[in-house]
Structure 1
Amino acid sequence: MSDMAILINTAVAVLATVVLIVRFKVNPVISLIIGSVYLGLSAGLGVTKTVETITGGFGEIMVEVGLLIAFGVLMGSILNETGAIRRLVEHLLHVFGPKRLPYTMGLAIGTALQSIFLDVLLVISAPLARKLAPRIGKLGTARMATAMAIALECGIVFMVPGVAALALAGLLSVPLGKMMIFGLILIVPTIIISIAIMTFLFRRGFWNEEKDEDHIYLEEDDDTSAPGTETIAAGTETGAGSGSTGSGTGTTGTTGRSNGDGATAEPVPAGASVAVAEADKEREAPLLVLFAPLLVSLLLIGAGAILEILKIEMAWLQLLGEPVIALLIGLIGTGIMGRYTVGQKRVETAIATGFKESGQILILTGVGGSLAATVGAAGLGDILGGFFSASTVAPLLVVWGIAALLHIAVGSVTLSAITAAGLLAPIAPALGIDPVLIALAAGAGSLFMVHVTSNTFWLLQSLLGQSVRGALKSVTVGVSVASVVAILLIMPMSLLF
Structure 2
Amino acid sequence: MPEWTILAIVAVVIVAVVIMIVRLHVNPVIALAIGAAAIGLMSGLGALGTVETMATGFGDTMAEAGLLIAWGVLIGSLLNRMGAITRLVESLLKLFGPKGVPFAIGVSFATYLQTIFVDVMIVLAAPLARRIAPRLGKAGVGIMAATFAISLETGIALMVPGIGAVMIAASLGIPIGQMLLWGFVVVVPTVIVSILIMTIAFRAGFWNPEGDEQEIIQDGDEPGGADADGRSGADAPRSVSGATRSIPVAGDGAQRSSVAVAEQEDEARRLPLLVLFAPLLLSLVLIAVGALLDIAEAEAPAMQFLGSPAIALLIGVIGTALIARRALGRTELERALVHGFKDAGQIFALTGVGGALAAVIAAGELGDLLTGYLGASAFAPIVLVWVFAAVLHIAVGSVTLSAMTAAGILAPVAASLGLNPILIGLAAGAGALFCIHVTSNTFWLLQSFLGQSVRGALKSVTVGVSVASIVALGMVLLLSVVL
Q: TM-score, normalised by structure 2?
A: 0.94
1:358 to 344, 364, 373: 344
Residues 417 and 234 (structure 1 numbering): CA distance in 2 closer, same or farther, change over 3 Å? farther
Deviations, residues 156-206 of structure 1 (Å, cap 9, x unaligned): 111111111111111111011100001100011111111111111111211
Correspondence 1:455 to 2:441: yes
User: CA separation in 2, counterparts of 1:45 and 1:399?
Assistant: 26
Give the match for residue 324 of structure 2.
338
Q: CA deviation at 1:129?
A: 0.9
Secondary structure, in 3 states, of the residue corresponding to 1:99? helix
1:473 to 445, 459, 462: 459
Residues 413 and 15 (structure 1 numbering): CA distance in 2 closer, same or farther, change over 3 Å? same
Match runs of 1:38-437 below 5 Å: 38-215=38-215, 217=217, 224=223, 228=227, 233=232, 235-238=234-237, 243-245=238-240, 247-251=241-245, 271-281=254-264, 282-283=266-267, 284-389=270-375, 394-437=380-423
Q: Give aligned pairs, total.
A: 477
Q: CA deviation at 1:236?
A: 2.0
Q: Tell me if the contact between 1:168 and 1:418 (Cα under 8 Å) persists in the aligned partners.
A: yes
User: CA separation in 1, counterparts of 2:458 and 2:473?
Assistant: 21
Output the amino acid matched with 2:244. Answer: G
Secondary structure, in 3 states, of the residue corresponding to 1:387? helix
Q: Tell me if the contact between 1:119 and 1:456 (Cα under 8 Å) persists in the aligned partners.
A: yes
User: CA separation in 2, counterparts of 1:194 and 1:127?
Assistant: 23
Give the match for residue 19 of structure 2.
19
Q: CA deviation at 1:136?
A: 2.5
Residues 321 and 469 (structure 1 numbering): CA distance in 2 closer, same or farther, change over 3 Å? same
Q: Tell me if the contact between 1:444 and 1:484 (Cα under 8 Å) persists in the aligned partners.
A: yes
457-466 vs 483-492, which deviates more? 483-492
Output the amino acid matched with 1:194. Answer: S
Residues 380 and 216 (structure 1 numbering): CA distance in 2 closer, same or farther, change over 3 Å? closer
Residues 472 and 221 (structure 1 numbering): CA distance in 2 closer, same or farther, change over 3 Å? farther
Identity of aligned residues (%): 54
User: CA separation in 1, counterparts of 2:221 and 2:466?
Assistant: 30
User: CA separation in 2, counterparts of 1:34 and 1:237?
Assistant: 32
User: CA separation in 1, counterparts of 2:24 and 2:314?
Assistant: 40
Q: CA deviation at 1:442?
A: 1.2
Residues 461 and 70 (structure 1 numbering): CA distance in 2 closer, same or farther, change over 3 Å? same
User: CA separation in 2, counterparts of 1:489 and 1:222?
Assistant: 43
Residues 41 and 402 (structure 1 numbering): CA distance in 2 closer, same or farther, change over 3 Å? same
Q: CA deviation at 1:248?
A: 2.8
Residues 317 and 392 (structure 1 numbering): CA distance in 2 closer, same or farther, change over 3 Å? farther
User: CA separation in 2, counterparts of 1:115 and 1:388?
Assistant: 35
Secondary structure, in 3 states, of the residue corresponding to 1:177? helix
Q: CA deviation at 1:4?
A: 2.2
Q: Tell me if the contact between 1:79 and 1:85 (Cα under 8 Å) persists in the aligned partners.
A: yes
Give the match for residue 263 of structure 1.
none
Q: Tell me if the contact between 1:76 and 1:115 (Cα under 8 Å) persists in the aligned partners.
A: yes
Q: CA deviation at 1:270?
A: 9.8
Q: CA deviation at 1:485?
A: 0.9
Correspondence 1:482 to 2:476: no
87-96 vs 33-42, which deviates more? 33-42
Q: Tell me if the contact between 1:448 and 1:480 (Cα under 8 Å) persists in the aligned partners.
A: yes
Gapped regions of structure 1 (runs ≥ 5): 255-267
User: CA separation in 1, counterparts of 2:354 and 2:58?
Assistant: 8
Residues 269 and 409 (structure 1 numbering): CA distance in 2 closer, same or farther, change over 3 Å? farther
Q: Tell me if the contact between 1:369 and 1:422 (Cα under 8 Å) persists in the aligned partners.
A: yes
Residues 209 and 326 (structure 1 numbering): CA distance in 2 closer, same or farther, change over 3 Å? same
Deviations, residues 259-303 of structure 1 (Å, cap 9, x unaligned): xxxxxxxxx999444122222144221111110000101111011
Residues 355 and 138 (structure 1 numbering): CA distance in 2 closer, same or farther, change over 3 Å? same
User: CA separation in 2, counterparts of 1:495 and 1:387?
Assistant: 23
Q: Tell me if the contact between 1:64 and 1:170 (Cα under 8 Å) persists in the aligned partners.
A: yes
User: CA separation in 2, counterparts of 1:394 and 1:292?
Assistant: 41
User: CA separation in 2, counterparts of 1:272 and 1:109?
Assistant: 36
Deviations, residues 121-159 of structure 1 (Å, cap 9, x unaligned): 221111211122122333111111110110110011111
CA RMSD after TM alignment:
2.2
Output the amino acid matched with 2:208. Answer: N
Residues 309 and 393 (structure 1 numbering): CA distance in 2 closer, same or farther, change over 3 Å? farther
Give the match for residue 31 of structure 1.
31
Q: Tell me if the contact between 2:436 and 2:462 (Cα under 8 Å) persists in the aligned partners.
A: yes
Q: CA deviation at 1:116?
A: 0.9
Residues 120 and 40 (structure 1 numbering): CA distance in 2 closer, same or farther, change over 3 Å? same
Correspondence 1:439 to 2:417: no
Q: Tell me if the contact between 2:174 and 2:421 (Cα under 8 Å) persists in the aligned partners.
A: yes
User: CA separation in 2, counterparts of 1:453 and 1:229?
Assistant: 29
Residues 230 and 271 (structure 1 numbering): CA distance in 2 closer, same or farther, change over 3 Å? closer
